[in-house]
Amino acid sequence: MERGDSTTRVVVLGSTGSIGRSALDVIGSEGPARLRAHGLSAHSNWRRLAEQARAASPRFVVMTDDQPVAEVRDALRGTDVEILTGRDGVLRMVQDESTDRVLDAIVGAAGLEGAWAALEAGKTVALANKETLVVAGPLIMDLARRRDARLLPVDSEHSAIFQALQAGDRREVKRVILTSSGGPFRGKTRRELQDVSPEMALKHPTWSMGPKISIDSATLMNKALEVIEARWLFDLEPDQIEVVVHPESVVHSMVEFVDGSVVAQLSPPDMRLPIQYALTYPDRHPCPGPRLDLTRPSALHFEPPDRETFPALDLAFEVMKQGGTAGAALNAANEAAVGRFLGGEIGFLDIARACRAALDHHEYDPRPTLDRLWKVDAKARLEVQRWTP
């Protein structure tokens, strides 16, 4: 930062979503002397984007879907906000010389391009968009290394692991243990899940999130994606990653060191804390979220995941074993299958089945380029669109 101030200027990609809104709350509560929204992007919700821009006065906003651009221009008339569109707008905003950090809170593989552009420009990326690492983990980590750019986790589990890793040397890590709430269907049998509706699957017991990740939490695909995310982010072998169900969502994940010490990070289930840590790291500041009070009667439970009812987890380990294009195929198939489930076209249990089919049929490449990954992505989506239960 050579501007003569210590403000961190943040670009929030996907500012109108669940993570994006929490991020603006954090930025607002930190105040402009520490954090400032430098740019915001939204895909279609132009009203909310305009409201956010009026409140946070960023330098740029981007409508990634350029349909409602005229509306945004009208809504922001008389302000100094520069209105950009499409992927060029995202590139320009993340690579702007005043941009210090980019929070990628776009949902799905659509978040990859922004993260890529930011890393390429050497910016620090606060990554909520786990799909980026599922699709292109090795390429992204390599890019970050080459550009000397930092990738900081926002996902609560990965933020917890990142914090716990600071307790020891990297070579002293035995394994990481990711916690999962178990989702809204914890304890159910496959039979009971046969006819569940999107409304039922969208009701998460401990977290309030966007629709795609809520369905992923119900199938445990979210945990599957997070296992793959952890592998690349922390350079772990697949057998160093374990998953444990912890319904209270207070212990966000743990690291076991070679001496048997297990270091965990605890806090109430509120994304503002991991978002803030990724925006202020290496500093810690007071956070607007609730605080943990373990002096009140409380209990924390842990149990193994039910891999028979929730086959998504096994898919993650298979994908890690395969590497190459497998992550891109799984992610795209899942996005398409979640879309079809939400549209009432396929059943809940079909989501993992469709992913399985797409993974089995995809044209495997062990060392894909980014271009190849996009082709695999497109093909897997098509496959799931055509797939019949």
| Antiparallel, parallel or unpaired: β 35-42 and 60-63 | parallel
How far out from the chain centre does Cα 159 lie? Answer: 11
Helix ranges (DSSP H) in 220-311 = 221-233, 272-280
Residues 348-367 interacting with ligand NAD (rule: CB under 6 A) = none
Cβ nearer to ligand NAD, comparing 5 with 88: 88
State the Cα–Cα distance between residues 229 and 116, nearest whole angstrom. Answer: 16
Chosen from ligand NAD, Mg ion, none, partner binding at 209 (C-beta under 5 to 8 Å by type): ligand NAD
Cβ nearer to Mg ion, comparing 157 with 270: 157
Residues 172-231 interacting with ligand NAD (rule: CB under 6 A) = 207, 209-210, 212-213
Q: From the CB of 389, what's the least distance to ligand NAD, in Å?
A: 25
Chosen from Mg ion, ligand NAD, none, partner binding at 340 (C-beta under 5 to 8 Å by type): none
Interface map 276-315 toward ligand NAD (x if CB under 6 A): ----------------------------------------
State the Cα–Cα distance between residues 327 and 322, nearest whole angstrom. Answer: 9
Edge-to-edge order in the sheet of strand 124-127: 82-85, 60-63, 35-42, 8-13, 101-104, 124-127, 151-153
Chosen from ligand NAD, Mg ion, none, partner binding at 377 (C-beta under 5 to 8 Å by type): none
Binding of ligand NAD at residue 325 (CB under 6 A)?
no
DSSP 8-state symbol, 251: E
Binding of Mg ion at residue 155 (CB under 5 A)?
yes
Q: From the CB of 17, what's the least distance to ligand NAD, in Å?
A: 2
State the Cα–Cα distance between residues 290 and 280, nearest whole angstrom. Answer: 18
Nearest position to ligand NAD, beta carbon: 17
Binding of ligand NAD at residue 316 (CB under 6 A)?
no
Among the residue ranges 18-26, 75-83, 325-333, 380-388, the one whose residues contact ligand NAD (CB under 6 A): 18-26
Cβ nearer to ligand NAD, comparing 115 with 389: 115
CA neighbor of 7 nearest in space, from 25, 26, 30: 30
Cβ nearer to ligand NAD, comparing 207 with 364: 207
CA–CA–CA angle 378, 318, 131 (5° rounding)? 45
Determine the straight-line distance between the first and last CA of the chain, rounded to whole angstroms. 54
Cβ nearer to ligand NAD, comparing 61 with 213: 213
Binding of Mg ion at residue 383 (CB under 5 A)?
no
| Antiparallel, parallel or unpaired: β 35-42 and 173-180 | unpaired
Cβ nearer to ligand NAD, comparing 72 with 190: 72
CB-based contacts of 241: which residues, under 8 Å, 6+ apart?
175, 176, 178, 227, 230, 231
Q: From the CB of 363, what's the least distance to Mg ion, in Å?
A: 30
Q: From the CB of 313, what's the least distance to Mg ion, in Å?
A: 14
Binding of ligand NAD at residue 273 (CB under 6 A)?
no
Binding of ligand NAD at residue 107 (CB under 6 A)?
yes
CA neighbor of 217 nearest in space, from 205, 199, 229, 232: 205
Quick one: which H or E segment has residue 152? strand 151-153
Cβ nearer to ligand NAD, comparing 215 with 359: 215
In order, the DSSP letters of 165-225 are HTTS-GGGEEEEEEEE---TTTT--HHHHTT--HHHHH--SS----HHHHHHHHHTHHHHH
Binding of ligand NAD at residue 110 (CB under 6 A)?
yes
Chosen from Mg ion, ligand NAD, none, partner binding at 105 (C-beta under 5 to 8 Å by type): ligand NAD
Other Cβ atoms less than 10 A from the Cβ of 78: the count is 6
State the Cα–Cα distance between residues 337 and 148, nearest whole angstrom. Answer: 36
Among the residue ranges 74-82, 101-109, 184-192, 198-206, the one whose residues contact ligand NAD (CB under 6 A): 101-109
Residues that bind ligand NAD (CB under 6 A): 14-20, 42-43, 45, 64, 105-107, 110-111, 128-131, 155, 207, 209-210, 212-213, 271
Residues that bind Mg ion (CB under 5 A): 155-157
